[in-house]
Amino acid sequence: GESVGLHLPTLSVQEGDNSIINCAYSNSASDYFIWYKQESGKGPQFIIDIRSNMDKRQGQRVTVLLNKTVKHLSLQIAATQPGDSAVYFCAESPSGATNKLIFGTGTLLAVQP
Amino acid sequence: ETGVTQTPRHLVMGMTNKKSLKCEQHLGHNAMYWYKQSAKKPLELMFVYNFKEQTENNSVPSRFSPECPNSSHLFLHLHTLQPEDSALYLCASSRTGANEQFFGPGTRLTVL
């Protein structure tokens, strides 16, 4: 069945280091992927997205990489800051299924000062 | 702020109570969603509304009853819930046909 999973439930990094959060997806027909950040007591907040016709997209301090061959998605955060501490979710949208996102379980990013 | 508000932020109710969760979006979107977020589990889609019409009910028990009076407001009516229904209930909205969803802060529900 469809599933979106994360390799590491918890990631601890030092402030200033780069962070990489990984995600595996199983539906090769998915054509849209999105990363959300959820801080304690808040709802998920959009970070960055990517369509399947791309393999890389950059935002402010964040980069998403998509490897369709191995069905792998990653989120890279440059110069990680304490404010980046949160749970990060990836989600996929199957082709043709607009308004539908399938979420992973999330990775907790803990930034050590 | 994401433009999506939810009230109340916290709710404690007994199994025989009736309560309602409210969601309002100020983004001009036409699609609205209810999700359930339990600890260590992925977000579970419950309901989807497009232009006030329910387009998806993800096998949700009838003790959860959604209502969408217009494109800006969404309610979740709760009746005779079970303790396992305790969770964070998130509302989201999007443009119809768009993938990016904007989430509210959620209602933390505890069923005693």
The closest CB to that of B48, out of A32, A42, A99, belongs to: A99
Contacts of B92 (CB under 8 A, 6+ apart): A43, B4, B32, B33, B35, B101, B102, B103, B104
pLDDT (0 to 100) of residue A7: 47
Which residue, chain included where needed, has tokens 């990984």?
Answer: A22
pLDDT at residue number A3: 45
Which is nearest to A18 in space by CA: A50, A51, A65?
A65
pLDDT at B34 over 50: yes
* Interacting residues of B17 by C-beta distance below 8 A, sequence separation 6+: B78, B81
Mean predicted confidence (pLDDT) in B83-107: 94
Q: Does B100 touch chain A (CB under 8 A)?
A: yes
CA distance A93 to chain B (A): 7
| Contact flag B42-A102 (C-beta cutoff 8 Å) | yes
* Contact status, residue B94 vs residue B101, Cβ threshold 8 Å: yes
Q: How many helices (H) and strands (E) does chain B have?
A: 0, 11
Determine the pLDDT at residue B97: 80
* Matching residue, tokens 């890279």: A76
Q: Nearest chain A Cα to B39, which residue?
A: A105
Is there a contact between A99 and B100 if contact means CB atoms under 8 Å apart?
Answer: no
Number of residues that make up chain B: 112
Pairwise CA distance, residues B24 & B14, whole Å: 25
Instruction: Give the pair of three-digit tokens for residue B104.
Output: 């509210």
Tens-digit pLDDT profile for residues B38-77 = 987 889 999 999 999 999 888 999 999 999 999 999 999 9
Alpha-carbon B43 to chain mean position: 12
Q: Is A109 on the interface with B (CB under 8 A)?
A: no
Look at residue B41 in the predicted model and tell me its pLDDT.
84
The C-alpha atoms of residue B69 and residue A16 are separated, in whole angstroms, by: 48
Q: For residues B4 and B29, is the Cβ–Cβ distance under 8 A?
A: no
A103 → closest Cβ in B2, B42, B106: B42
CB contact under 8 A, A98 and B106: no
- Give the end-to-end CA distance of chain A in Å, rounded to a whole number: 40
pLDDT per residue of chain A (113 residues) written in tens, 0 to 9? 334 554 448 999 999 999 999 999 888 889 999 999 999 889 999 999 999 999 999 999 999 999 999 999 999 999 999 999 999 999 999 887 777 899 988 899 999 98
The pair of three-digit structure tokens given for residue B16, joined into one six-digit string: 């025989």
State the DSSP code for A44: -
pLDDT score of B72: 96
What pLDDT does residue A52 have? 94
Residue A69 tokens, joined: 């061959």
Residue A65 CA to its chain's centroid (Å): 9
Task: Report chain A's C-alpha Rg in angstroms.
Answer: 13
The residue type of B24 is E
| pLDDT value, residue B40 | 75
Q: Kindly report the backbone phi and psi dihedral angles of residue A87, in degrees, each rounded to the nearest multiple of 5, phi listed first.
A: -95, 135
Q: What is the pLDDT of residue A4?
A: 57
